Amino acid sequence: MDFHVVCAEEKDIPAWLALVNTVAEDFPGLDIDNYTETLKKNIVRKTALCIREDGKLSGILLFSPHHHCLSCMAVHPEYRCRGVASALIREMLNLMPECDINVTTFRENDAKGIVPRALYRKFGFEPDELLTEFDYPVQKFVLHRK
């Protein structure tokens, strides 16, 4: 399925936050106020990507060309396993400079990590160091593009 990935606009904030709240259990340490401010900054920078479907957001992604990372990605449960996440990542890769890109995700032994780890591997990301973020064990993945 082909999805039209666009840069999020201020009008998307309520739908974006609704999606984040729907999948909040997948974001340990989520502080919605700080997240909202980060989202607003990313919208201005054109580093907040989304896919609009049926009047709502089916997928969202924040990235940082400055920090060379995929910061946050979520797909609405009704739209999973349809290529939404892949479309978002492809667009991010088109917009990022040719550099290594980092993302942190759940560790191998975490059931929440099965799908995202497979997705990142599909795009060539490789497992890297084990970390802890917001008191939750995660693992960094790196896509080597240099």
Please give the domain boundaries of the chain with CATH numbers for all domains: 5-143 (3.40.630.30)
| pLDDT tens track for 29-66 | 899 999 999 999 999 999 999 999 888 899 999 999 99
pLDDT band at 138 (very low <50, low <70, confident <90, very high): very high
Q: In the prediction, which pLDDT does 97 show?
A: 87
pLDDT of residue 129: 97
More confident residue, 26 or 71: 71
Query: pTM (2 decimals)?
Result: 0.94
* Helical (H) or strand (E) element with 128: strand 126-133
Phi-psi region of 11 (alpha: psi -120 to 50; beta: other; left: phi over 0): alpha
Distance CA 143, CA 146 (A): 9
pLDDT value for 2: 80
Q: How far is CA 12 from the centre of its chain?
A: 16
